[in-house]
Amino acid sequence: MADERRSDTLTHFDAEGQARMVDVGDKPATHRVATAEGRITMAPDTATAIRAGTSRKGDVLGVARIAAIQAAKRTDTLIPLCHQVPISGLEVAWDFPDPTCLRCSVTVHTVYATGVEMEALTAVGVGLLTVYDMCKAMDRGMVIDGICLLHKEGGRSGTWDRT
């Protein structure tokens, strides 16, 4: 017998435990925002090449920025049960918090009936994977980690911040 509490806490499952797409048709469209981040650590020479724009493949961060934007726009085709969300704005930021670590931060905005956490997380992941792809000839030992949600606002659950 299915656990009835499961459908209350995991909204992508019905009372019988079957996967379902959540119906957001009755929810009001409100302004929603989500910010996610992640890191890629690398050899010092790789970081230097990225900063200087001297990678053999060109502007690593510019290409990775476009990849992150495309990924956010296509999240519903990558993650089962995600809604197709009209993104009204998206910012991608890159910084080096230390000499061998590149951080990607993505903030996504929408006015819709569901949030954009998955879009922000997907954008970060694909942006970092693009950095790896463009630099793997120089450094196959790069490590992507720390992908997480930092902030979300809007909707019934209100504002949430990672502390």
Domain ranges within the chain, ordered by starting residue: 27-161
* Angle, helices 44-52/117-135, rounded to nearest 10 degrees: 100
pLDDT tens track for 89-130: 999 999 999 999 999 999 999 999 999 999 999 999 999 999
pTM of the model: 0.88
- Cα torsion angle, 63, 42, 149, 117, sign: positive
Q: What is the pLDDT of residues 5-16, one digit of tens each?
A: 333 466 777 777
- 59 annotated active-site: no
Per-residue DSSP letter, 17: S
Question: Contact, 148 vs 37, CB < 8 A?
Answer: yes
Q: Note whether 2 and 102 are within 8 A (CB).
A: no
How far is 27 from 24, CA to CA, in rounded Å?
5
Instruction: Please tell me the predicted confidence (pLDDT) of residue 7.
Output: 38
67: closest CA among 148, 122, 145, 147?
122
Instruction: Quote the CATH superfamily of domain 27-161.
Output: Molybdopterin cofactor biosynthesis C (MoaC) domain (3.30.70.640)
Q: Which of 153, 90, 100, 154 is nearest to 122 (CA)?
A: 90
Candidates 3, 26, 45, 133; catalytic one = 133
